Structure 1
Amino acid sequence: MARTAFITGSSTGFGKATAVAFCDAGWNVVATMRNPQDWDREPSDRLLPIALDVTEPTSIRSAFEAGVAAFARVDAVINIAGIAAFSVFETTPDKVVRLLFETNLFGPLELMRVAIPHLREHGGGHIVNLTSASSIVPEPLMAAYNASKAALDNFSETVRLELAPQNIEVKIIEPGFVPTTALVPKLYASAPTLDIPPAYAAYVQQRMNFFAQHAAEPPVPLPTAEDVAQAILASVNDDARRLRWVVGEDQNERMRMKWSTSEPEYTAWSWREFGPAL
């Protein structure tokens, strides 16, 4: 019997690539997104596009129930839906901060609450949470986004121990910079709407230039959305209780600097990597 994956954020980017990868690997896929009409792939009897708003608990529950009704059971829950915000924290509206946490943290937590009893009832399964490079090494001018993803990362590492006796494995996927997603275009599109006090203007422009340069001329090979999807697929086929799946040479280097060097070395490196040009 084919296993079933329940995937959020499936209309674009990581979510879409993951839905395709799992379907190609023989899984049934519940591909959730705000508007199922955004799904533009060929129809398949093993793939169900369905509406889900991760900020609405009733939407989460009804979508999960519809997925179970379609394929009898769910074996893997994959939290990918998320949003980012590039802004000066001082002038970031409270409603934006709250939306980031509702989408990136509380939505995945609510889906886990819905899914855990089902997974337990059917002998276990996998929960995969997509966090970010910024979960461990935070990017400047993305403070609220970083915090929401770091919270999900920390939560995932903690709750895996609670769920292990129930044969439910929790995995964390931490991609580095993926220029094939819409991040850089969205950063530039949002730039005219940002409230940037003069004290921050030079640094904001420096970071915008950084993203553009790394997208155009990356210092190391950068991963694609498909690479991230393959890491997610590998994680649900892993029985070694490996927690983190880091995707991208840039993120591997950041993890090395964070965890395998001294605090003074890491501090000096982070100032070189992210610090303002003084």
Structure 2
Amino acid sequence: MQIISALSEVSDRYPALFVDLWGCVHDGLKPLPGAVEALQAYRAGGGVVILVTNSPRPRAGVAAQIEDIGVPDDAYDNIATSGDSARVAMFDGAVGNKVWHLGPDHDAGFFDPPAILSNPTPIERVPLDQAEGIVCTGPFDPLADPSDLRPQFLAAKTRGLKLLCANPDIVVDRGERREWCAGALAKLYTEMGGESLYFGKPHPPIYDLARRRLAAIKEVSDAGILAIGDGPVTDASGAMGENLDLLFISGGLGAVETGTAPGGDPDPTKLNAYLAQTGVSPTYVIGTLR
């Protein structure tokens, strides 16, 4: 493991980057200092940037969202989302025709059929007691304890409903506020004995999609791809499982535990303890993407 201070120290070894968004490029409210500029400089040198995000939104929805946040389209080449992978599975009938949507109203676009399917399964959103499966794009209230959904999950598990998880993230930090994600709900459902289906990081479907998006631009072997992320369970585990080199952002979800101040470097002793605790084995570590 090598601690670096700038992406440019190692980026010339990699023709392509798979870059996590939340916690690496933005904090849900604004771009993180230096991140956009680092990606713009990398692309100016000929590198390809694929944003690989566990957002339940389709690619176009994420593009619009990050534009509003302030991430310009010249900072990346394409986007692979957990939502796109999960939508294909849903419209292939992975959890049935009638589904209970567990998620906020702003995720309604998830139920628009993807153009790549010529004969999508008709999907109808219904109340839980009429559902053949659950589609989880996130909690109704991101600040509420996931255990509040135990009664609904018990009823669903008893009926053998599968839960399609469109975002395996457990938590994200929106500015200074930590919020629950769909992954926390899917984890609870699994712990209660239900079956959850995952399509985002660290699971293979989203990496397959990212490789297809990359191949449409440039042929790059896995050895030429550097994954960048801050989530031990999602970004790091996914990169390690796919045998991709990993640049771990210590100033994201693990900022406190690694002693990483805003814009600074991690404390080596705290970093090593955190990596040992989480099982993360990165190629490189950087405080923030810059």
Give me the TM-score of the superposition, normalised by structure 2.
0.35
Q: Quick one: higher RCO (CA 8 Å, sep 6+), 1 or 2?
A: 2
Give the structure with the larger helix fraction.
1
Give the structure with the larger strand fraction.
2
Give me the TM-score of the superposition, normalised by structure 1.
0.36
